Amino acid sequence: MISCAYRRWPAWLISLMLFAGAAALPAAAGPVEDAPKIATDAGGAEFVEGEALVRLRPGTSPGAAAMLAAELEAGDGRPFRVLSEACRRPCLLLRSPRRSTAELLASLRARPEVEAASPNYRRRLLRLPNDPGYHRQWGLAKIGAPEAWERNVGSSDVVLAVIDTGADYGHGDLAGNMWRNPGETEGNGVDDDGNGFRDDIHGYDFAASGSGDNDSDPMDIEGHGTHVAGIMAAVGDNAAGVCGVSWRARIMVLKGFRPDLHIYDSDCIEAIEYAVKMKRDYGVNVVAINASFGGGGSNALQQDAIAAAGEQGIAFVCAAGNDGTDNDATPFYPAGYDLPNIVSVAASDGNDALASFSNYGQRSVDIAAPGQAIYSTVPRGAGLEAWLKTESDVLDVSPLEYSGRTGSAGLSRKIYDCGLGQSAGDFPAGVSGNIALIERGNSTFQQKALRAQSAGAAGVVIYNNVAGSFDGTLGSEGGWGPVVAVSREDGLLLRSRGVHSVNLTVRAGDYGYLSGTSMASPHVCGALGLLAAQYPGDGMAKQIGRLYSGADRIAALDGKMVYGARLNLARSLSQALVLTMTVTRRQAQSWMAVKDYAEVRFAVEKEPGSAISGETYAVYRKIPGNSFAKVGEVAAAELQDGAFTYRDKYLESGTSYTYVIEARSAGGEVLALSNEVTI
């Protein structure tokens, strides 16, 4: 805070000085200003390059400001009149077209008349969406989405495709973000754009019937696809429902699941072909395809189709599977294909542990993302919404996953404090036919709900054992009655009132909870959408590199996947150092011997103003069935024009090799990882 102790200068004198200074300043260059050039200081704070905010000492002679500006070639200065009067000393902004901020500050601080000088920092808008269900989307906070949204909330120029059970494209939280084929007229039964598909407005249904016959309507047949689509790109900040990782990306719906709720590779391949065709031939900016499904059995054609998508710069984000098994030992496809555009995603829980159901694989699973009790869109009327009315309040409650419903009128009963619900003794006799209020802790939600049901409770309210609200699951379908969660604050309020009447309503809604790697994968897909919006000029490999580079290394995930890390969108979106790698397989021939070698070329891009120096770059290599091992190291000083070509020699012909580059700071901290390339 600026000190205003000097009050002996009359306001008119300050005004005169500033007027004189301003009058002496040359006129501004013109009415149109260029966008300010932003630089970053050592602490990561952003400021306008070439500008400085200056406070002169009391007693500085009139006109000193103008002289100062002239001497520093900062003619385009701007006085702060009100502030100067309040503080009784001149305060102004200096702007130099020739000098950097560092040079300006050095000069200013050396002058006796300057009391304070600092960069013209820019501050972030602390932006959270106003979607009422946002507080239930714990995964978004976990991946740093709010910080990321301060930089970018997504772009309607980015298209994310989802191959799934379809999607409820009329959902209020999705409709605004549905991709719309600009070349197609809805409902005229004509293939207007000549892409081979009639009336493909939001995508296409590649598996309309049991035989896989197609039609133009990709409406969701189960709910899974709508949930996945909402995680990726539900409309954000629209004061309704939830928000997606990307608030603005467009969703292309490629329904691939047949009525038997299976997707067949033939349908999946057609869906991929569609996305590839729309990007290649029609210029639709498909950035990534989400594939929240999988199974055993490798299919060369499916792999080829995904590779073809990769050639068009389309990432293929896959769920790792929900069997809790090791994909290295039991391959799971399509997540298991060894392709550079595949990102295989495991599920993490709220504590950053691998979710109990999630598959893993040190060699075949890339990264983790939130996948347990994820709140998102479901087909209209297929979800749950809930509240608890007391005599004076309407409390926000979260139905636990698999919770039963109450009917539209709700359940008007008395609520009884049942302690921790640990044993039958915790449940008073009166709770039978009424609602049990139970504190979270010591046993699972399922166990608490079972005990309450045994005691005859018609509904269960579980309140948090720490401050704030929470979400949870009952584990599986089980004919549950209504079971909801409330915050500790609301729980204590209910308890303090003793036995009293409430109305608990859990009824059909448009949102709901689901768990699975199916929910983890769209977090990553949405993240790629946001990266594409922030860095539209970067290719797929670089975007995937940013994704991996920014991920949080988590000890509990180490050894469970390639990067041992959980998605961190905020860091990925603001990587100070980005590595991009290309690898070319070549042959070296002496007189009598022939050997393959890999030309591993990586480029290092540092954010402007980055203070990173003295870093090292390690080249890692793996062959199928093995883990990455370091084969070489390059010092920052060896880079030429920010790039280096490392030659990995004496490779076995016929063996495939996968490479990745890791950048570490001088202190050993991992700064960035490159994309993976397999040759």
Partner 1 sequence: MKKTVIAFLLLSLAAGLGAAGRKFSVMAGAGVLLPIDADFKELYGSALFCPELKLSYEIMPRFCVWLAGSSASATGVLPELGDEIKASQTFLSLGAGWETKRWGRLQADVGAAFLMAHSREKAMGSSPSKSAPGFDARAGLRVFVSESVFVGLNVGFAGAWTTVDAGETDKDIVIGGMRIGGALGFRF
Q: Which residues in this chain contact partner 1 in the complex, by CB under 8 A?
A: 586-595, 597, 647, 649-650, 653
Shortest gap between Cβ of 653 and partner 1 (angstroms)?
A: 6
Closer by beta carbon to partner 1, 387 or else 597: 597
| Dihedral sign, Cα of residue 359, residue 362, residue 366, residue 372 | positive
DSSP state of 37: P
C-alpha angle 88/91/95, rounded to 5°?
165
What's the CA angle centered on 650, arms 647 and 656, to 5 degrees?
85
User: Measuring CA to CA, which residue among 250, 283, 261 is closest to residue 178?
Assistant: 250
Residues 6+ apart with CB under 8 A from 213: none
Q: Residues with Cβ < 8 Å from 430, sequence gap 6 or more? A: 414, 416, 499
Q: Cα 290 to chain center, whole Å?
A: 14
Q: Which is nearer to partner 1, 289 or 583 (CB)?
A: 583
454 vs 587, which CB is nearer to partner 1? 587
Q: Please say which residue, 496 or 590, places its beta carbon nearer to partner 1.
A: 590
Q: How far is the CB of 675 from partner 1 (least distance, A)?
A: 25
Nearer to partner 1 by C-beta: 345 or 634?
A: 634
* Least Å from the CB of residue 649 to partner 1: 6
Q: CA-CA distance, 174 to 234, in Å (whole number)? A: 5
* 8 A C-beta contact, residue 591 and residue 402: no
With respect to partner 1, which residue has the nearer C-beta, 11 or 588? 588
The nearer residue to partner 1, 425 or 654, going by C-beta atoms, is: 654
**Strands laid side by side in the 594-606 sheet:** 577-589, 594-606, 643-651
Nearer to partner 1, 602 or 646 (CB): 646
Least gap, CB of 542 to partner 1 (angstroms): 28
DSSP H helices, 10-63, are 11-24
CB of 587 to partner 1, least distance (A): 7
CA distances from 582 to 224, 532, 614, 672 (A): 37, 20, 23, 16
Treating both helix axes as pointing N-terminal to C-terminal, what angle do 64-71 and 11-24 enclose, rounded to 10 degrees?
Answer: 30
Q: Label the pairing between strands 91-95 and 78-79.
A: antiparallel
Kindly tell me which of 497 and 595 has the beta carbon lying closer to partner 1. Answer: 595
Nearer to partner 1, 12 or 591 (CB): 591
Q: How far is the CB of 651 from partner 1 (least distance, A)?
A: 10
Phi, psi (rounded to 5 degrees) for 516: 145, 165
Residue 83, H or E segment: helix 81-87
In whole angstroms, how close is the CB of 637 to partner 1 at the nearest point?
Answer: 19
CA distance 545 to 367: 12
The residue among 98 and 647 lying less far from partner 1, judged by its C-beta, is 647
Which residue, 12 or 650, has its beta carbon nearer to partner 1? 650
Residue 446 is given by DSSP the state: H
Residue 610: alpha-carbon gap to chain centroid: 23
Cα distance between residue 377 and residue 356, in whole Å? 24
- Dist CA 361 CA 327 (whole Å): 5
Q: How far is the CB of 646 from partner 1 (least distance, A)?
A: 12
Q: Which is nearer to partner 1, 429 or 592 (CB)?
A: 592
Q: CB of residue 226 vs partner 1: minimum separation in angstroms?
A: 51
Least distance (Å) from partner 1 to the CB of residue 279? Answer: 35
The structure tokens 């501050």 sit at: 123
CB of 677 to partner 1, least distance (A): 19
Torsion 442-445-446-450 (CA) sign: positive
CB of 654 to partner 1, least distance (A): 9
Alpha-carbon gap, residue 271 to 265, rounded angstroms: 10
SS3 readout for 324-372: CCECCCCCCECCCCCCCCEEEEEEECCCCCECCCCCEECCCCCEEEECC
Both tokens of 294, joined, read: 């999988």
Q: What distance lies between CA 468 and its chain's CA centroid?
A: 23
Give the nearer residue to partner 1 in terms of CB position, either 500 or 586. Answer: 586
CB of 594 to partner 1, least distance (A): 4
In whole angstroms, the minimum distance from the beta carbon of 629 to partner 1 comes to 17
CA distances from 141 to 137, 292, 401, 460, 558 (A): 7, 22, 20, 27, 22
User: What span, in angstroms and rounded, lies between the C-alpha atoms of 28 and 26?
Assistant: 6
What's the closest the beta carbon of residue 642 comes to partner 1, in angstroms?
A: 23
Identity of the residue, 555 or 594, whose beta carbon is nearer to partner 1 in the bound complex:
594
Residue whose CB is less far from partner 1, 479 or 654: 654
The minimum distance between CB 655 and partner 1, in angstroms, equals 13
Nearest to 435 by CA among 414, 450, 454: 414
Q: How far is the CB of 652 from partner 1 (least distance, A)?
A: 11
What are the angstrom distances between the C-alpha of 436 and each of 8, 405, 413, 536, 606?
69, 16, 10, 53, 57
Q: Which amino acid is at 12?
A: W
Instruction: Decide if 384 contacts 399 (C-beta within 8 A).
Output: yes
Of residues 27 and 592, the one with the C-beta less far from partner 1: 592
